């Protein structure tokens, strides 16, 4: 117990010591910053004051110089006027005449001199100034008689502070000189001349420091009147400031024998003046003691606040501990509820997956069971050719449905992952519409549905546009298929197209498709675009869909920057409104029609087939050889490269390349073949033969260097046409 008390006392002492040390460090930091701040403020104030006084002194000097110049020019003009008056009065030069000349010319006196400078006649308003008589001996003045156009002018400064402006010019009426002068009394100068001292009115020594203006070494102005008239060299402060040079840097100077002996100051040099500005040291650091006091008070307040907070913390520790326990219990309850919700969501997700797998299992097994059953029937009745052929057609329908089912699932996956790439190809919308209606018309006829087209709707004014024809067909075929699938015998499907207008290079069309189907509920319309959404499973169709059709349509329409809207009423029918913008195709020119000629053939073509699946390879080989081709089979892309490389040019007319193969895939194999250093490496047709049937898959094949793209399962008529187009068959 005693040991605990000793430890507590030791801890308290250490805490007090730490606080004292922190306080000293804080005071030192505040002192340092306050000193720097005060010196910077003093520097700015002294510089601002000195710069302003310097600029004003320079301004007054310029004004004084301009005034002197104006006065001298005026006395010159007065001399010229007197010379002109002498000519007008035939040289009349009596004292009365000179007085009249002087008054009319506003001068203080006139003197007429001969060539040697002797005074012939003169007039003075007052006593003749001695400086004027002394100036008459100036060689420059006497030289004006030899040069009539020359003028002599000078300002003379009297001992009492007065000024005399004197001018001399040659006489025009006789040989001689006219001298005029104007005397400005010292009283007038003191009354009307600008005083430098007036610049310092309002500058307080306590606030602005001491300001001194000197002309040379003589102080001509100061806000400390006792300094006016003194020599700057007799004042140690000014002498030290001046010795440091002009500048922007404030220096420290001292003056012995005064109670305030320490100063900070600087000097600025003007045109005719030196400006000194300096402050007592106590004025410079006036804020430092106050800031130190504030720091002490603040630190004591902070320490007191911390101590109070610690005391309150100790008092409320138990309450907070209880609150923490309650919060933990509440959080635990919330977490349990969240876990329960997560479990429910996981159960629903698993149920959705199970439902999807169950539906997919049913949708896939149904056509497979049909195919297997039909095969067994064919095996049991091989001699019944008509039955076998009919079963073959049924198996083809079932197989096509399986391919369509798989394509829907794959395309939905690509839409969700953003891998769908839209083509940018020329499209004739009129022809595309006819193709779609031709395809769907047969299905409608088989189901007893009438297809109608609104002939009153606007014609397609701009049929040639850019777009993705494959995906456009898919959009409308999906919609029309649903309109037929869920319609009733004797029902109808109406189509209408409207041009919404053009903006720059874009035209917008709207298709309105209305049917007389069984309709949809409002609840289902809210989720019709969700993947795997189905409202009915009793539609009069042989095979049910995946519930992906409308989700795919929505995704494709949005990728085309379009919109789709659906309205429906149960028992009445549904309306689909599709709005799509298209880039207008310019300079379409004549539309080229395919040339009619002999039926395409690959008879005699030597083909290199790269296929890793033995069954697929066997089927492809048999189908190709039935068309007359000669087929060489390899099992992967590496073997395809080696087989092509090891045979001379011309051995193969084309290469059929599967894309997904072991060892080396078809895209890599194509790139390696194209890179081989032989003449036919870049020209031999390489045709993709893959289960990846989408437009973006075909684009990847073309980018890898392939010539064309065929989708599995092969449609031989299309495959033969593609191969015949890519390479010329041998005779």
pLDDT given at position 222:
80
Q: How sure is the predictor about 405, in pLDDT bands with cuts at 50, 70 and 90? A: low
78 lies in the same domain as 118: yes
- In this prediction, residues 108-114 reach a mean pLDDT of 88
Q: Phi/psi class of residue 519: alpha, beta or left (left: φ > 0; alpha: ψ in -120 to 50)?
A: left
Q: How sure is the predictor about 544, in pLDDT bands with cuts at 50, 70 and 90? A: low
Residue with tokens 């995906």: 471
The CATH number linked to 572 is 3.30.565.10
- Least Cα distance to 210 among 151, 283, 144, 146 occurs for 283
pLDDT given at position 697:
78
- In this prediction, residues 531-543 reach a mean pLDDT of 54
Q: How far apart are CA 100 and CA 81, in angstroms?
A: 12
Q: How far apart are CA 564 and CA 528, in angstroms?
A: 12
In the chain, the number of structural domains is 5
The CATH number linked to 681 is 3.40.50.2300
User: Which of 172, 192, 212 finishes a domain?
Assistant: 192
Tens-place pLDDT, residues 485-512: 888 888 999 988 888 888 888 999 999 9
Sheet containing strand 251-254, edge to edge, reads 218-222, 210-215, 274-280, 262-269, 251-254
Percentage of residues of the chain with pLDDT beyond 70: 83
92 has a pLDDT exceeding 70: no
540 has a pLDDT exceeding 50: no
Q: How sure is the predictor about 595, in pLDDT bands with cuts at 50, 70 and 90? A: very low
Percentage of residues of the chain with pLDDT beyond 90: 14
30 lies in the same domain as 142: yes
34 has a pLDDT exceeding 70: yes
235 lies in the same domain as 306: no
pLDDT given at position 355:
61
- In this prediction, residues 574-588 reach a mean pLDDT of 86
Token readout for 161 is: 């502070």
User: Which of 364, 393, 419 finishes a domain?
Assistant: 419
Residue 385 lies inside a defined structural domain of this protein: yes
- In this prediction, residues 162-189 reach a mean pLDDT of 84
Tens-place pLDDT, residues 440-480: 887 888 888 988 887 666 567 788 889 888 888 888 888 88
Instruction: Specify the higher pLDDT residue, 541 or 199.
Output: 199
- Least Cα distance to 141 among 175, 188, 105, 178 occurs for 178
pTM value is 0.41
Residue 591 lies inside a defined structural domain of this protein: no
Q: How sure is the predictor about 594, in pLDDT bands with cuts at 50, 70 and 90? A: very low
215 has a pLDDT exceeding 60: yes
**Cβ-Cβ contacts under 8 Å for 243 (sequence gap 6 or more):** none
CB 520 within 8 A of CB 535: yes
Q: How far apart are CA 45 and CA 103, in angstroms?
A: 54
Q: Say which range, 12-16, 161-165, 246-250, 623-627, has the weakest mean pLDDT.
A: 246-250
Which domain does 471 fall in, by range?
Answer: 420-584
Tens-place pLDDT, residues 236-286: 777 787 777 656 677 777 766 555 567 788 888 877 778 888 877 777 777
731 has a pLDDT exceeding 50: no
The CATH number linked to 203 is 3.30.450.20
- In this prediction, residues 665-671 reach a mean pLDDT of 94
pLDDT given at position 587:
63
pLDDT given at position 676:
94
Q: How far apart are CA 363 and CA 464, in angstroms?
A: 39
Mean of per-residue pLDDT scores for the chain: 80
Q: How sure is the predictor about 305, in pLDDT bands with cuts at 50, 70 and 90? A: confident
Residue 593 lies inside a defined structural domain of this protein: no
530 lies in the same domain as 550: yes
647 lies in the same domain as 694: yes
Residue 600 lies inside a defined structural domain of this protein: no
User: Which of 284, 319, 334 finishes a domain?
Assistant: 284
């Amino acid at each position: 117990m005693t040991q605990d008390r000793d430890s507590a006392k030791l801890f308290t002492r250490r805490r007090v010591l730490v606080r004292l040390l922190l306080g000293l460090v804080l005071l030192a930091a505040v002192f340092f910053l306050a000193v720097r701040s005060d010196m910077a403020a003093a520097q700015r104030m002294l510089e601002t004051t000195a710069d302003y006084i310097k600029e004003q002194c320079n301004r007054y000097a310029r004004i004084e110089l301009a005034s002197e110049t104006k006065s001298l020019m005026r006395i010159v003009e007065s001399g010229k006027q007197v010379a002109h008056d002498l000519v007008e009065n035939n040289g009349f030069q009596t004292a009365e005449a000179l007085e009249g000349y002087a008054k009319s010319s506003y001068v203080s006196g006139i003197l007429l001199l001969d060539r040697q400078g002797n005074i012939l006649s003169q007039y003075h308003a007052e006593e003749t100034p001695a400086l004027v008589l002394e100036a008459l001996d100036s060689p420059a003045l006497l030289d004006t008689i030899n040069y009539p156009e020359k003028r002599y002018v000078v300002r003379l400064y009297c001992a009492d502070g007065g000024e005399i402006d004197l001018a001399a010019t040659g006489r025009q009426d006789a040989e001689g000189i006219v001298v005029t002068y104007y005397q400005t009394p010292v009283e007038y100068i003191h009354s009307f001349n600008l005083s430098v001292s007036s610049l310092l009115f309002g500058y307080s020594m306590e606030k602005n420091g001491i300001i001194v203006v000197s002309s040379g070494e003589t102080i001509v102005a100061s806000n400390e009147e006792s300094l006016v008239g003194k020599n700057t060299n007799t004042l140690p402060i000014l002498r030290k400031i001046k010795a440091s040079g002009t500048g922007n840097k404030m220096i420290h100077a001292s003056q012995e024998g005064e109670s305030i002996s320490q100063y900070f100051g600087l000097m600025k040099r003007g045109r005719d003046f030196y400006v000194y500005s300096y402050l007592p040291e106590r004025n410079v650091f006036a804020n430092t003691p106050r800031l130190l006091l504030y720091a002490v008070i603040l630190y004591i307040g902070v320490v007191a606040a911390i101590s109070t907070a610690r005391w309150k913390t100790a008092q409320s520790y138990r309450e907070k501990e209880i609150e923490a326990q309650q919060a933990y219990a509440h959080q635990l309850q919330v977490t349990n509820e969240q876990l329960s919700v997560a479990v429910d969501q996981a159960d629903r997700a698993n149920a959705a997956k199970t439902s999807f797998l169950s539906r997919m299992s049913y949708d896939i097994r149904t056509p497979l069971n049909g195919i297997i059953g039909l095969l067994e029937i064919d095996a049991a009745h091989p001699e019944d050719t008509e039955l076998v052929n009919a079963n073959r057609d049924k198996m083809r329908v079932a197989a096509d449905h399986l391919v369509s089912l798989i394509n829907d699932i794959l395309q939905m996956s690509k839409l969700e992952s953003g891998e769908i790439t839209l083509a940018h190809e020329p499209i004739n919308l009129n022809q595309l519409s006819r193709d779609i209606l031709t395809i769907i018309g047969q299905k409608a006829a088989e189901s007893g549905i009438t297809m109608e087209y609104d002939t009153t709707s606007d014609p397609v004014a701009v049929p040639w546009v850019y777009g993705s024809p494959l995906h456009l067909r898919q959009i409308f075929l999906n919609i029309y298929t649903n309109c037929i699938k869920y319609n009733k015998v004797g029902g109808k499907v109406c189509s209408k197209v409207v041009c919404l207008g053009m903006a720059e290079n874009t035209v917008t069309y709207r298709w309105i498709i209305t049917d007389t189907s069984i309709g949809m509920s409002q609840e289902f319309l809210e989720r019709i675009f969700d993947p795997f959404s189905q409202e009915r499973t009793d539609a009069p169709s042989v095979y049910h869909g995946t519930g992906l059709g409308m989700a795919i349509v929505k995704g494709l329409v949005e990728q085309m920057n379009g919109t789709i809207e659906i309205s429906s009423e149960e028992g009445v029918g549904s309306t689909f409104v599709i709005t799509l913008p298209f880039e207008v195709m310019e300079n379409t020119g004549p539309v080229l029609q395919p040339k009619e000629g002999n039926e395409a053939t690959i008879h005699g073509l030597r083909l290199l087939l790269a296929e890793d699946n033995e069954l697929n390879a066997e089927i492809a080989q048999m189908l190709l050889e039935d068309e007359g081709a000669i087929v060489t089979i390899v099992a992967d892309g590496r073997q395809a490269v080696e087989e092509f490389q090891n045979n001379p040019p011309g051995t193969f007319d084309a290469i059929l390349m599967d894309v997904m193969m072991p060892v080396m895939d078809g895209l890599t194999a194509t790139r390696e073949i194209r890179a081989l250093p032989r003449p036919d490496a870049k020209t031999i047709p390489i045709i993709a033969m893959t289960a990846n049937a989408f437009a973006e898959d075909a684009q990847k094949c073309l980018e890898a260097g392939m010539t064309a793209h065929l989708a599995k399962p092969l449609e031989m008529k299309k495959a033969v046409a593609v191969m015949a187009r890519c390479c010329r068959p041998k005779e």
